[in-house]
Amino acid sequence: MKTKNIFTNIPKQLPDEIFEDIISTQNLKIERIISKGHTTPISQWYDQDTDEWILVLQGDAIISFEDSKDVHLRVGDYLNIPAHTKHRVSWTIPNTETIWLAVHY
């Protein structure tokens, strides 16, 4: 077995948000997401078939929901998003990386 570290191999330049699978099976996906000022386009909403649990390990972000308030996530904050709950990333801190752990189940 080989260990890895969630905080390594982060590119200095992030023209696009990075989504990296850590574990992916038929019923479960765990991914690392790296954002740096990235947002979901205004007209786009995530509407996923699975529940998603997210944890902010570093940085700050705001998740907007179509039918409710915005949620500001800081280091250590986590949130469970039920399947088919329309949401988008409306802000991530621009001057440092926001590192997320996302579990789709």
- What pLDDT does 31 receive? 98
Number of neighbours of residue 1 by Cβ within 10 angstroms? 2
Write the CATH number of the domain with boundaries 18-104.
Answer: 2.60.120.10
The partner residues of 50 in beta bridges, in order of sequence, read: none
Please check the confidence at residue 98 and state whether its pLDDT lies above 90.
yes
Domain extents in the chain? 18-104
Please check the confidence at residue 67 and state whether its pLDDT lies above 90.
no
The partner residues of 54 in beta bridges, in order of sequence, read: 79, 102
pTM of the model: 0.92
Whether the Cβ atoms of residue 30 and residue 103 lie closer than 8 Å to each other? yes
- Helical spans, DSSP H, in the chain: none
